[in-house]
Amino acid sequence: MSVKQSENKNRAKPENILVILGGVSSEREVSLQTGQACVDALNKRGYKVRVFDWQKREATQLLQAITTPTPDVAFNALHGTCGEDGCLYGLMECCAIPTTHSATLASAIAMDKLMTKQLLEQSGIRFPESMKLEVAVGNERQESPIPVPYVIKPIAQGSSIGVVRNLEKGKPLPSSRQFPLMIERYIHGREFTVGVFKGTALGITEVIARQGEFYDYKAKYNEEMAASHVFPAKIEHKLATKICKWAELAHKNLGCRVISRCDFRYNPQEPEEKNLYMLEINTHPGMTGMSLVPEQARGVGIEFEEIIETLVLDAWQKKEHKGKRYEAAN
Ligand SMILES: Nc1ncnc2c1ncn2[C@@H]1O[C@H](COP(=O)(O)OP(=O)(O)O)[C@@H](O)[C@H]1O
Ligand SMILES: [Mg+2]
């Protein structure tokens, strides 16, 4: 570490922030929007912001951007592969550059839906029955390992990319092998999502997709096809308490930092012991104009800028804990 870099680290507050956005995953477009919102928030709070639009998976461009000059804090505004899965965090940790959001281990587990399920079921959180989908090419007519209705989705992607529902018998399994896939029992009913900020649930949003649709990419990011959001969700107190408790538990037990968002399905036709299911936890929830966490924060009187600044300050404080693999969860 240079003398200049070590002097900088003694400041109470960071000054220079490098926002890394775009990225090399299938969620690049979403990250460009998330990143811009974060840049605006940091500018509003008076930070000196440099933006790096990461476009290529090769060493020179990335290493140059993160080291010339080395920022006080790197703000990771990426979604998906290489950004949200702990890879970038790990690289930054090796370079001793404080970086926002959850650390490598929590991010890597959260990115893998089957791994998340395995870990969080031990905390008493229920997930739908699911498994890795192995289909030999040319064998798409084989019997599905889970009866209809089911969804097939990538094990480690986001933004609903590649999620396919099969509600009726007779459809072949997908022949596309772009990503490792899982198959999961489809949960009929309602959909909820909960942001957790500093360990506490912000509240519950019900996401209502257009008639006959589900919460797919268009419903998330296309204003004309958008799902409606009801915040706070109109549900009974007991159910709301359980949903929030599961989201907070997932955040804590995975070791997430500052912010996360959990998605749920709820089937009111089922008895209480099998009507609520967590689908996943996101360590880099979207921060676009249509995203759920900023909306929930606004709804409970927390400014968007406060979340973004808390991420930066948390990263800056984490430098005190270098060498400790597991940090206090909050
Ligand atoms: N088991 C399931 N039952 C019903 N709907 C599901 C199920 N899994 C996924 N979906 C639908 O697909 C959307 C995206 O799936 P999710 O598991 O949250 O992955 P991601 O958001 O990371 O792409 C969910 O918001 C939901 O609408
Ligand atoms: Mg989701």
For 62-77, write each residue's pLDDT tens digit.
999 999 899 999 999 9
Instruction: Please name the amino acid found at residue 11.
Output: R
CB-ligand 1 contact for 184 (6 Å cutoff)? yes
* Predicted pLDDT of residue 220: 86
CA distances from residue 43 to 3, 38, 47, 69, 290 in whole angstroms, order as listed = 27, 9, 6, 19, 20
The residue that leads in pLDDT, 201 or 157, is 201
Q: Which tokens belong to 174? A: 């997908």
Asked whether residue 175 carries a pLDDT value surpassing 90, the answer given is no
Q: Which residues of 43-67 are buried (b: 16+ CB within 10 A; e: fewer)?
A: eeeebebbbbebeeeeeeebeebbe
User: In what side-by-side order are the strands of the sheet with 164-166?
Assistant: 130-132, 181-185, 150-154, 164-166
Looking at residue 3, what is its pLDDT? 46
**Cα-to-chain-centroid distance, residue 311:** 14
**pLDDT at residue 325 above 60?**
no
**Mean pLDDT of the 248-263 span:** 98
How far apart are the CA of 61 and the centre of ligand 2, in A? 31
Q: What pLDDT does 214 receive? A: 84
For residue 85, the CA-to-ligand 1 centroid distance in Å is 18
Q: Is the model's pLDDT at 318 over the cut of 90?
A: no
The closest alpha carbon to 252, from 300, 293, 302, 198, belongs to 198
Assess whether the C-beta atom of 159 lies below 6 angstroms from ligand 1.
yes
In the chain, what percentage of residues exceed pLDDT 90? 72
User: By C-alpha distance, which of 188, 159, 200, 119 is closest to 282?
Assistant: 159
pLDDT on residue 247: 98
Is 158 near ligand 1, meaning CB less than 6 Å away? yes
Q: What are the tokens at 321?
A: 């804990």
* Beta carbons within 8 Å of 167's beta carbon, 6+ residues apart: 148, 149, 186
Phi, psi values for residue 181, rounded to 5°: -115, 155
Q: How confident is the model at residue 176 (pLDDT cuts 50, 70, 90)?
A: low
- The alpha carbon of 13 and the centre of ligand 2 are apart by a number of angstroms equal to 34
Cα–Cα distance between 299 and 228 in angstroms, integer?
15
The dihedral formed by the CA atoms of 221, 82, 283 and 30, expressed in degrees to the nearest 10: -10
Region 135-145: what's the mean pLDDT? Answer: 78
Cα 216 from Cα 15, distance rounded (Å): 38
- Using alpha carbons only, give the angle 57, 62, 64 rounded to the nearest 5 degrees: 145
Average the pLDDT over each of 23-32, 76-85, 170-179 and give the range with the smallest value. Answer: 170-179
Task: Express as a percent the part of the chain with pLDDT over 70.
Answer: 92
- Residue 202, by phi and psi: left (phi above 0), alpha (psi -120 to 50) or beta? alpha
Q: In what order do the strands lie in the sheet with 48-54?
A: 48-54, 16-22, 73-76
Ligand 1 atom 2, closest CA: 186
Residue 71 CA, ligand 1 centroid: distance in Å: 36
**If you measure from the C-alpha of residue 293 to the centroid of ligand 1, how many angstroms do you get, rounded to a whole number?**
17
Q: Report whether 183 contacts 146 (CB < 8 A).
A: yes
Pocket test for ligand 1, best of 25, 206, 279, 293 (most atoms within 8 A of CB): 279
The first and second tokens of residue 59, run together, are: 């060493």
* Ligand 1 near 128 CB (within 6 A): yes
Ion ligand 2 nearby residues (CB, 5 A):
263
What is the DSSP-derived secondary structure letter of residue 129?
Answer: -
